Amino acid sequence: MNIAVAGASGRMGRMLIEAICNAADARLSGALDIAGAPALGSDAAAFLGRTSEVRIESDLAAGLANAGFLIDFTRPEGTLRHLQYCAGHGIKLIIGTTGFDAAGKAAIAAAAERTAIVFAPNMSVGVNVTMKLLEMAARNFAEGYDIEIIEAHHRHKVDAPSGTALQMGEVIAGALGRKLDDVAVYERHGVTGEREPSSIGFATIRGGDIVGDHTVLFAGSGERIEISHKSSSRVSYAHGALRAARFLRDKATGLYDMQDVLGLRQS
């Protein structure tokens, strides 16, 4: 698989490059970063002490000339620019970017009619198995349990709640036959009144170098059930992204997520 990486000089970009360079069935074929980035023109694998013969580019045509896949964990505005180019040139996309609005998500769905895309706010295999556990739990805790989602990330994260926390909320709401937009509570301050039983609450923590912690609390009378996932490294996201690329090898078009990649959709 000839894979290019967007945001190549960032923390996640470097983790992806290392995973690709260490994979027997993948080859780093392109690297992108924003115009003016200090690393432009340098070898994409230089931080590993090795030579990849791939230079970090800001020009899409140059950076994606030899790519069959692009893995993108950047920002919505950058991903949407990459999306249009990839859809027009038959390059398959693995999108881990979060923070899209409804129009951005619609653009991704439209592009999936022209190329194959895996779009997931969290590529970790563990997180996506956790999503399945939450779906099962929600069905059994439909009555008599209050649901709260607590997430923590590093100080540099720019969107809140995290895409993973929102996906957890959507999974739970769907299992309960609700729409998250109708029941989500994103902040509490002052005299809030009693808790609405059907609501799903969110709490956000930002600090330090926390990679990503997510806990869903089902609080009933006399007992509490907590389902948690904690990331200690971004390597799980990189390995999940490679698994998503392998899933797309025989797909020409279509929009998929990690539940499809892991075969959890119908299980």
Return the active site residues. Answer: 153, 157
Residue 161, preceding bond cis, omega within 30 degrees?
yes
**In 209-219, which positions are buried (b, 16+ CB within 10 angstroms) versus exposed (e)?**
ebbbbbbbbbe
CB 227 within 8 A of CB 247: no
Per-residue tokens: 5: 């990486």
CA distances to 3, 100, 159, 209 from 61, rounded to whole Å, are: 14, 24, 29, 35
CB of 247 closer than 8 Å to CB of 264: no
* Cβ burial, residue 185 (10 Å; 0-12/13-18/19+): middle
Cα 170–175–178 angle (5° rounding)?
65
Q: Are 182 and 130 contacting, i.e. CB atoms less than 8 angstroms apart?
A: no
CA 153, CA 231: separation in Å to the nearest integer? 10
